[in-house]
Structure formats: structure tokens, C-alpha cells
Amino acid sequence: MTPILIAEQVLNGLQSGVMLFLMAAGLTLIFGVMGLINLAHGSLYMVGAFAAAATAAVTGSFVLALVAALAAAAAAGALVERLVIRRLYDRDHLDQVLATFALILIFSEGTRWIFGSFPLYLDIPEALSGPVTLPGGIQYPLYRLFIIGMGLVVAALLFWLIARTRLGIRIRAGENDREMIAALGVDIARLYTLVFALGAALAGLAGALVGAIQSVQVGMGEPVLILAFVVIVIGGIGSIEGALVGAILVGLTDTLGGIFLPQIFGLFMEPAAATQTGAALASMAIYVLMAAVLAWKPTGLFGAKS
């Protein structure tokens, strides 16, 4: 267990953390503003990844692929909001869960219908491939660094959008009192569509960025969706800061646990048993983290007291 290995794993954890943030931020915004739990958010992640892979296959351009991912996910989000989601704002959470579960089925099978069951591959662009040497002699893939940077830039933009722009003011006002801002002449229906499309675009971007290091396949969104839920539970629903802190915590715990728990058990167990026990416990680490936060602060680290 060298310092270099640890540094590498911390970077890996950070990378998965910022991608989780893109998912969780959209979910938490949508919940905060519209009071909607959206299980189909993972499908928008998948839409982004497929749009990117298809565009890259045709044009060969990674930049165009990212643009296509953003556009396709935002368009799919806006469409779904208009057709289905809009009818769910006044319903209870059970109806929201079921309707968005139905959307997952439709999205997943629809994508399988169009693209087939085999995974697609999205190549890392030439300019971003290969390792770079970081201070301290750490060899690290450039593309993963790019993802971390990209995630942090988007996070900064999002914070700026929420805190400094007119749209951000409306979003925050919508979280507090939707009747009041409707009375002040803000077109609530349009605001909701916009927020939903924004969340969808973030998910689509995450899907495209991660799609280049994993395979692009049907069902890729739901495991990430559930991790994003864990992030939101830890961070507190409706809080973007909470989503960022929670995402980094979950990313680091998941990555470091998977590497180091087997080694820690190896100190006092036989290697085979240690690997097995360590791997089994590592798969539970983030949920244990979630349980600990819940026991301590039921509304999450940054959640409002309900």
C-alpha cells in the first residue's frame, strides 16, 4: 500500500464522486423545486450515453458527442415532463414512483429496440487518451482527470446559476413558495419544464462522460440512480451543497473501500478469505455510511429540519 496507490485511488474516488454529483444535483433540484421523486433520471443518463456513442460513431467527434448527449437528454427530459411528469406534481409519492418506474421500462426497452442488446463503445478522444505524470510521480489517465475537471466546472457553473442568475432566483423562490411566485407572474409551468430539462441535461452529460470509460448499455443508469439516491439521503434532499459533499463522500468510500478493505482483512485473515470478506463488506460500505448518517441526522448533513 504505497502513497502513490492511495493517491490514485483517491483520484478515482473523486472522479466517480463528481459524476455522481451531476446525477444527484439534477435529482435534488427536481425534488426541491417540484417535489417530485424521479426514478427515470437514470434513463436520461442512459439517453445521454447512447446519444453520445451514436454521434461519435457517425461524426468521430467527441465534442459533438458531448453536445449531442446534452441536447438529447434535455430534449427527452422536456418531452417527458410535458407528457407525463407534469401530471404527477399533485400526486402522492407512490404514483410518482410507479409512473417513473413505467418510464424506465419504456425507455430501457425502447433503447434496446433501437440499438439492440449489445453494448456500444464510446472511444476516449485522441487528445485526452494516455496517462499523464502528476507531481509526486503519479501516473494517471488524462481522461479521468478531464472528467474530474469537467465535473468541478459544471458544479461551479451550477452554483453560480443558482446563486447569481435570474433563473436561479426563480428556482430558489420556487422551492420556497410556488403559489407566491406564480402570483408574481412567473410562468410556473415553463419554469418546471426548464428545471427538469436542466436536470436531465446534467444526467445526460454524466452518462456521456462515464460512457467513454465503461460500456454504453441498456440498464446502465439505474445503479447510478440508486447511488445518487444514497448521495441525496446523505447530503439532504433539496440541497445542492449536500449533493456535492455526499457525492464526494460516496465516491471515495466506494472506491477506497473496494481496494483497501480486502487488504485490511488480509492483515489478520487468510488471503482468500480476506478477499472474499473484504469484497463483500466493501460492497456494503456506502450503505453503512448512509445508515450512520441517518442514525445521526435523519434529514441528511445539509437537510432542512423537517
Residues that bind another protein (CB under 8 A): 31, 37, 84, 87, 93-95, 97-99, 101-106, 108-110, 112-113, 222-223, 226, 229-230, 232-233, 237, 276, 279-280, 282-284, 287, 290-291, 294-295, 298-299
CB of 238 to another protein, least distance (A): 10
Contact 140, 132 (CB under 8 A): yes
- Tell me the torsion sign for CA atoms 151, 153, 154, 159: positive
Residue 217, classed as helix, strand or coil, is: coil
Cα(187)–Cα(203) distance, integer angstroms? 25
Q: CB-wise, 183 or 291, nearer to another protein? A: 291
Q: CB-wise, 69 or 244, nearer to another protein? A: 244
Q: CB-wise, 52 or 252, nearer to another protein? A: 252
Cα(273)–Cα(184) distance, integer angstroms? 64
Cα(13)–Cα(255) distance, integer angstroms? 5
Q: CB-wise, 84 or 173, nearer to another protein? A: 84
CB of 295 to another protein, least distance (A): 7
Q: What residue has cell string 430539462?
A: 197
CB of 74 to another protein, least distance (A): 22
Residue 261: how many other CB atoms lie within 10 Å: 21
CB of 18 to another protein, least distance (A): 20
CB of 28 to another protein, least distance (A): 10
Q: CB-wise, 81 or 122, nearer to another protein? A: 81
Query: DSSP code of 115?
Result: H
Report which of 82, 81, 94 is spatially closest to residue 41, judged by C-alpha positions.
81
Q: CB-wise, 112 or 124, nearer to another protein? A: 112
Q: CB-wise, 20 or 230, nearer to another protein? A: 230
The H-or-E segment that residue 235 falls in is: helix 221-235
Name the β-bridge partners of 120. Answer: 216
Q: CB-wise, 35 or 168, nearer to another protein? A: 35
Helix, strand, coil fractions of the chain, as percent rounded to 5: 75, 5, 20
CB of 185 to another protein, least distance (A): 30
Cα(55)–Cα(210) distance, integer angstroms? 15
CB of 106 to another protein, least distance (A): 4
Q: What is the CA radius of gyration of the chain?
A: 20
**Inter-axis angle of helices 3-34 and 142-164, nearest 10:** 30
CB within 8 A of 283, min separation 6: which ones? 258
CB of 140 to another protein, least distance (A): 27
CB of 232 to another protein, least distance (A): 7
Q: CB-wise, 58 or 292, nearer to another protein? A: 292
